[in-house]
């Protein structure tokens, strides 16, 4: 097609050439600008009218729970058992949660006796309990569990506290003289000694078992070695006999020839 165009242009008159150039000018310039507009980058989008969301606030780290500190147990005077009232709250603050919390175990009693304290957290509106105690009450009120009652009321029958139905049935015994520290250390030492003795016996038994196993393996290896040696000796004896027989057979023809 280009060859035909060039041939036509070579044979064109000046007027035809001028008309052709005018045609190119009329068509080419608009096409050129149209291509430039197509290649031009698109305009940047207009900024959004909506405000950017504020960054989320960082969560504050949870406060570490303080270790539980048990209250001091009632004092025993001259070996006498403390009264039931000594395991109860002395002063009750009605402006906060009156839930009963068990804070310590008195192991001088057999079985042990519990001591109470007031919860003291912020109470719910229209209620004398906090959210936690109210949840426990609604779940365990009619059965033993996490709910242990109110300090404004008598202890629940099943609680290990003096004066309850449980205490009347079990009749716990009080021992004002705990085991002396020396005796306790001696008991722990005896326990440790027994544990060490048991470990030594176990180690000795394992060593004896290993020794017997090694002895059995050695006997088996010796028996196999002896069997191999006997087999080798038998094969050597058989080879010697065959060699002697061959030697004898080799000498026999010579003797016959000499005769």
Per-residue pLDDT reduced to its tens digit, 143-202: 888 999 999 999 999 999 999 999 999 999 999 865 555 556 766 788 888 889 899 988
In a domain, 251, yes or no: no
216 has a pLDDT exceeding 70: yes
As beta bridge partners, residue 13 has none
Q: What is the pLDDT of residue 143?
A: 85
In a domain, 162, yes or no: yes
In a domain, 89, yes or no: yes
| Rounded CA separation 24/16 (Å) | 12
What's the number of domains the chain is made of?
A: 1
User: What SS3 state is found at 109?
Assistant: strand
Mean pLDDT of the region 10-20: 69
The model's confidence at residue 253, banded by pLDDT at 50, 70 and 90, is: low
Per-residue pLDDT reduced to its tens digit, 190-203: 888 888 989 998 88
In a domain, 107, yes or no: yes
Nearest CA to 148 among 203, 97, 208, 83? 97
Domain that holds residue 145: 84-174
| Rounded CA separation 100/103 (Å) | 9
In a domain, 46, yes or no: no
Residues 130, 123: contact at Cβ < 8 Å? Answer: yes
Residues 80, 176: contact at Cβ < 8 Å? Answer: yes
| Rounded CA separation 153/140 (Å) | 16
Q: Where are the beta strands (DSSP E) in 80-191?
A: 100-106, 109-110, 113-118, 173-174
Q: Which residues are within 8 A (CB) of 68 and not within 5 positions of it... i.e. 6 or more apart?
A: 103
In a domain, 77, yes or no: no
As a whole number of Å, the CA-based R_g of the chain is 54
Q: What is the pLDDT of residue 103?
A: 87
CA distances 49 to 42, 43, 46, 92, 172, Å, are 20, 18, 9, 60, 78
| Rounded CA separation 116/149 (Å) | 10
DSSP 146: S
In a domain, 128, yes or no: yes
What integer best gives the mean pLDDT of the chain? 80
What token pair was written down for 225?
């070695």
Nearest CA to 166 among 205, 109, 103, 208? 109
In a domain, 230, yes or no: no
Mean pLDDT of the region 8-25: 68
Torsion of CA 121, 122, 124, 127, to 10 degrees: 70
Q: Which residues are within 8 A (CB) of 129 and not within 5 positions of it... i.e. 6 or more apart?
A: 97, 98, 99, 119, 123, 137, 150
DSSP 122: P
Q: Let me know the angle formed at the C-alpha of 215 by 214 and 217, rounded to the nearest 5 degrees.
A: 65
């Amino acid at each position: 097609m280009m060859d035909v165009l060039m041939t036509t242009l070579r044979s064109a008159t000046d007027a035809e050439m001028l008309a052709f150039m005018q045609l190119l000018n009329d068509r080419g310039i608009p096409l050129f600008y149209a291509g430039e507009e197509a290649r031009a980058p698109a305009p940047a989008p207009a900024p959004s009218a909506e405000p950017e969301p504020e960054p989320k606030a960082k969560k504050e780290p949870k406060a570490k729970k303080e270790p539980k500190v048990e209250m001091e147990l009632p004092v025993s005077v001259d070996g006498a058992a403390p009264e039931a009232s000594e395991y109860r709250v002395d002063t009750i603050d009605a402006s906060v949660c009156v839930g009963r919390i068990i804070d310590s175990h008195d192991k001088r009693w057999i079985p042990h006796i519990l001591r109470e304290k007031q919860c003291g957290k912020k109470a719910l509106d229209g209620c004398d309990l906090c959210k936690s105690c109210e949840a426990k009450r609604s779940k365990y009120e009619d059965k033993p569990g996490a709910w242990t009652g109110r300090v404004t009321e008598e202890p629940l029958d099943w609680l290990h506290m003096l004066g309850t139905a449980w205490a009347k049935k079990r009749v716990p015994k009080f021992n004002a003289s705990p085991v002396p520290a020396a005796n306790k250390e001696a008991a722990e030492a005896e326990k440790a000694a027994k544990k060490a003795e048991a470990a030594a016996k176990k180690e000795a038994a394992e060593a004896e078992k290993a020794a017997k196993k090694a002895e059995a393996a050695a006997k088996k290896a010796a028996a196999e070695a002896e069997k191999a040696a006997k087999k080798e000796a038998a094969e050597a004896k058989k080879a010697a006999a065959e060699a002697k027989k061959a030697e004898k057979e080799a000498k026999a023809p010579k003797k016959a020839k000499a005769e």
